[in-house]
């Protein structure tokens, strides 16, 4: 065995180790080519939560080629339920996302090794929550890529999801029906009968009336609070005014009493003087 035969296995071992992350058992491919990362999902009513997860996947490595697998309508309706957008609309929404390099249509419901090999996928990017397969038998469909160190975790965006958006529309269903009727959609377009349309319009008027009444009540309440806040001040001012009036009346009584006393004294003196003059004559 020559020297090269002895040293080559050593370098081969070092090379294999260098492509693994010892902390999380993550495999790193050759850095000379873009890392092919795949994110998969339905992406119905594509929103910023979807875009953020794809951004995280795109930024997994300095040089990433992001593929996005998206299930078609038949598969999605079978395993998850009805979508708002068609498969063509969902594919096109993904193509217009700045982070996506390639959209894979008709993606399988569960990613398998055959799919990874077909598209030369190095990593699968998804949130870390366990997802069961269509049969419910598997605890986590991403278990095999996690075990192989080829799973890149992304974080979900709280407060936004396709289900949340649909719930908002359902919650304010009547409002959106009237909104679209006012914008030119027909009752037939919305699947609304003549009677239901009239009922909805009456309900909307009642709702607006209740809102106006509530607004008026709030304004009255604010005024009452203002009156209550200034009540003590007003009462104090009134008390001082009454006290001033009482003092004025008391002073007037004393002045009048003094005036009458002086007047009466002067009147008596004048009467005495007149009587004296009469007596002299």
Q: What is the mean pLDDT of each run of 10 residues along the chain (281 residues)?
A: 41 38 53 92 97 98 98 94 97 98 96 94 92 65 89 95 95 90 89 82 78 81 75 72 76 71 73 76 65
pLDDT tens by residue, 226-252: 776 776 677 677 778 777 777 876 777
Q: For residue 153, which phi and psi values (nearest 5 degrees)?
A: -80, 135
Q: Rounded to the nearest 10 degrees, what angle do helices 173-182 and 162-171 cross at?
A: 80
Q: What is the pLDDT at residue 254?
A: 76
- In the chain, DSSP finds a helix count (H) and a strand count (E) of 10, 7
Instruction: Enter the pTM of the model.
Output: 0.63
Q: What is the pLDDT at residue 232?
A: 65
End-to-end C-alpha distance for the chain, whole angstroms: 177
pLDDT tens by residue, 45-77: 999 999 999 999 999 999 999 999 999 999 999
- Give domain limits for the chain: 18-159
Would you identify the CATH topology of the domain 18-159?
Rossmann fold (3.40.50)
Q: What is the pLDDT at residue 23?
A: 45
In 3D space, the residue among 114, 123, 87 whose CA is nearest the CA of residue 103 turns out to be 87
- Map tokens 């065995």 to a residue: 1
Contact criterion met (CB below 8 Å) for 152 and 60: yes
Q: How far apart are CA 127 and CA 130, in angstroms?
A: 9
């Amino acid at each position: 065995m020559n020297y090269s035969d002895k040293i080559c296995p050593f370098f081969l071992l070092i090379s294999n180790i260098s492509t693994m992350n010892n902390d999380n058992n993550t495999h790193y491919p050759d850095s000379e080519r873009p890392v092919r990362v795949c994110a998969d999902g339905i992406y119905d009513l594509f929103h910023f939560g979807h875009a953020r997860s794809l951004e995280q996947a795109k930024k997994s490595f300095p040089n990433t080629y992001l593929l996005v697998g998206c299930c078609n309508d038949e598969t999605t309706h079978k395993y998850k339920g009805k979508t708002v957008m068609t498969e063509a609309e969902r594919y096109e929404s993904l193509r217009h996302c700045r982070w996506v390099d390639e959209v894979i249509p008709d993606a399988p419901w569960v990613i398998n090794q055959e799919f990874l090999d077909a598209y030369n996928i190095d990593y699968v990017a998804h949130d870390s929550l366990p997802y069961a397969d269509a049969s419910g038998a598997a605890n986590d469909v991403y278990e095999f890529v996690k075990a192989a160190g080829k799973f890149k975790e992304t974080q979900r965006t709280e407060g936004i999801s396709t289900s949340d958006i649909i719930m908002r529309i359902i919650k304010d269903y009547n409002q959106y029906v009237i909104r679209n009727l006012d914008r030119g959609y027909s009752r037939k377009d919305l699947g609304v009968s003549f009677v239901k349309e009239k009922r909805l319009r009456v309900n909307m008027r009642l709702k607006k009336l209740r809102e106006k009444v509530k607004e008026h009540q709030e304004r009255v309440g604010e005024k009452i609070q203002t009156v209550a806040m200034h009540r003590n001040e007003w009462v104090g001012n009134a008390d001082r005014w009454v006290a001033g009036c009482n003092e004025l009346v008391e002073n007037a009584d004393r002045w009048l009493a003094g005036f009458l006393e002086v007047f009466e004294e002067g009147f008596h003196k004048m009467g005495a003087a007149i009587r004296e003059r009469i007596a002299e004559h």
